[in-house]
Amino acid sequence: MNDTAKKIAGATGSLLLLSSMGMGVVTAFAEEAPEAVPGGAETVEGEGGAVATSPVVAGTFSFTQDTVSSIDQVARMLRASSYLCGGAGGELTEVAAADWEIAVRGDVESPYVTTVADIQADPAVQKVLLGCSCAGNPADGDASVAAQVTGVSVKLMLDRAGVADGANTVVFTSADGYEVALPLRYLTQRYCPIVFDVNGSPIADAAGGTNQLWLGSTSAKYFVRNVASITVETRAEAPADPGTAEAGDTYANLPNVGVAFGGEVA
């Protein structure tokens, strides 16, 4: 393999490694399209003596993990499909967002009820850049955004309630009865907040509703809206981790990025 091909293979490998982290990698391509290297193709011997021929190209590209998508981009992606991309939960408007109640209950020492207004005033509120990628993200990565979200971590909310020993499952239930059950361990290993603000605007402008569960490194299909209760349970077996075959997820949820030979990436 010549030096040019090695450089491209190395750069592509780095991109895939970062993408596999699942956190909103936003890729910016060079303005100039890649140019074919004289010779056009290269033959490489693979495992078992297999031979593959592929175009040899030259070019540059870069990526950034701190670019914030516009509120319009976030809204377009989150509202594309309620159950595949934006999380379910409905857009109930009977109750003002500030008065919306969330009950933390189940296998906890001190169950309690909080409101969105309480969460907004909480000293533990954090604003962080989180990636959001649809389960059906196409090759161009268009169903992947990054947003500045503001909220309080679910882990902190559970810590305040005092999770019982042996508990292993957390069930998020929206006002319309839609449920998402996740392993307690999965939630505590990621930054997973109940969000009320996206890019400085109310969550209603981006996803609809009064609040939304966001999950680090997880497909947006689990981002349930209008969370009304967070219930801790002790099950014989915890639910499977999202993104696995055991959970029924047959896709690999990555911020997929396609490299077009001589084409354009919108």
Each domain of the chain, given as residue ranges in start order, spans 3-64, 71-247
Comparing CA positions, the residue from 187, 175, 176, 170 lying closest to residue 233 is 170
pLDDT digits (tens, 9 = 90+) for 178-217: 999 999 999 999 999 999 998 899 988 887 889 999 998 8
Looking at mean pLDDT, say which of 6-10, 30-34, 234-238 comes out highest. 234-238
The string of DSSP letters for 31-52 reads: SSPPEEEEEEEEEEE-GGG-EE
pLDDT digits (tens, 9 = 90+) for 216-230: 888 878 889 899 999
| Strand order across the 101-106 sheet | 112-115, 101-106, 227-233, 169-174, 179-183
CATH number of 71-247: 3.90.420.10
Classify 188 as helix, strand or coil: helix
Going by the DSSP 8-state scheme, the letter that residue 160 receives in this structure is: H
State which amino acid sits at residue 154: V
The bridge status of strand 227-233 relative to strand 101-106 is parallel
Phi, psi of 51 (to 5 degrees): -120, 130
Cα–Cα distance for residue pair 191/180, rounded to 1 Å: 17
Q: For residue 28, what pLDDT band results from cuts at 50, 70 and 90?
A: very low
pTM of the model: 0.67
The bridge status of strand 201-202 relative to strand 112-115 is unpaired
CA distances from 260 to 6, 10, 18, 128 (A): 18, 17, 19, 32
**pLDDT exceeds 50 at position 8:** no
pLDDT value of position 206: 80
Average pLDDT across the chain, whole number = 73
- Exposure of 153 in the CB half-sphere (CA atoms within 13 A): 16
Comparing CA positions, the residue from 211, 213, 219, 257 lying closest to residue 241 is 219
206 compared with 120, residue with greater pLDDT:
120
pLDDT value of position 17: 31
Q: Which residues contact 195 (CB under 8 A, 6 or more apart)?
A: 149, 150, 151, 203, 211, 212, 213, 214
pLDDT value of position 256: 41
**pLDDT exceeds 80 at position 11:** no
- Tokens 């029924």, located at residue: 248
**pLDDT exceeds 70 at position 50:** no
pLDDT digits (tens, 9 = 90+) for 55-95: 666 666 555 556 776 767 766 666 655 555 556 666 665 78
Give yes or no for a contact between 133 and 24, defined as CB atoms under 8 angstroms apart: yes
pLDDT value of position 21: 33
Task: Centre a 10 Å sphere on the Cβ of residue 232 and count the other Cβ atoms it contains.
Answer: 21
**pLDDT exceeds 80 at position 101:** yes
Comparing CA positions, the residue from 60, 16, 75 lying closest to residue 205 is 75
Backbone φ/ψ region at 49: left (φ over 0), alpha (ψ -120 to 50), beta? left
